[in-house]
Structure 1
């Protein structure tokens, strides 16, 4: 889906969060978040009010594992992209950046921009996404620790019975 006719969308803002985990773990949490978020049902009111394309509001446009993921979308009042950039050492900590770009064509687009960007609701939503990814990273990290502890326990049990 070419949302801007091959041009570039105007920069809106960037938000950053530091996550005390490896880039691989943050990437896994990001992928998990995006996959679960892209399952917006056809009955969701935003789908028919705004005419989102794709229906979920976003589609993955480009991705390089553990480095970046670009989501794009459009609706009646805007064309937009949200790019997540991961940086830091491979073992962590990881800086996760969310860069937003968007065009709001026409009078209604400008009014929509004022309602979404001007009120700060976009900032709150973007920060919410980053914190959700951070929480998912911690849960994945805890699962990895639990899995490793279980394997170690099994190995110790096997060693005791040998």
Structure 2
């Protein structure tokens, strides 16, 4: 499924007192730290994710994987697109970096996802409806900001 055809879920952003190159490095490290642990690998297996392990080049590049995700595009210092699929959803996380001034960046994280069928609808309620997704995205962006600054 094309990423642009996936329904928009939400977008979160944070201002960071660091250049885009520094933020890019910490973005990849943070994603590896969050998604490559045993908990996420187990969760990826449980829901039937296509990608269940971390593999491929580091820093993250097209073709790299994390449990639940495959990197489909990576433009260092600018954009990182992760896509995934499992029994209940097809989804994408799109990270965009913008230079906003000397030593200042903005990191945006856009989520898109389709939740087909009754099981998908229930999964959406569990993940999106409870606010769990928002909490997770805010924590991730805060972690990247702290690492970068």
User: TM-score per shorter chain, which class?
Assistant: 0.7 to 0.9
CA distance in 2, matches of 1:94, 1:124: 22
Q: Is the 8 A contact 1:20 1:92 kept in 2?
A: yes
Matched, 1:64 2:75: yes
The RMSD of aligned alpha carbons is: 2.0
The structure richer in strand per residue is 2
Q: CA deviation at 1:41?
A: 4.3
Q: CA deviation at 1:115?
A: 1.1
When normalised by structure 2's length, the TM-score is: 0.82
The structure richer in helix per residue is 1
Aligned equivalent of 1:108: 119
Paired residues in the alignment total 135
Aligned equivalent of 2:23: 26
Q: Is the 8 A contact 2:81 2:94 kept in 1?
A: yes
What are structure 1's unaligned runs of at least 5 residues? 139-162
Aligned equivalent of 1:88: 99
Larger Rg: 1
Q: Is the 8 A contact 1:13 1:101 kept in 2?
A: yes
Distance 1:137 1:40, change over 3 A: same
Q: Is the 8 A contact 2:12 2:109 kept in 1?
A: yes
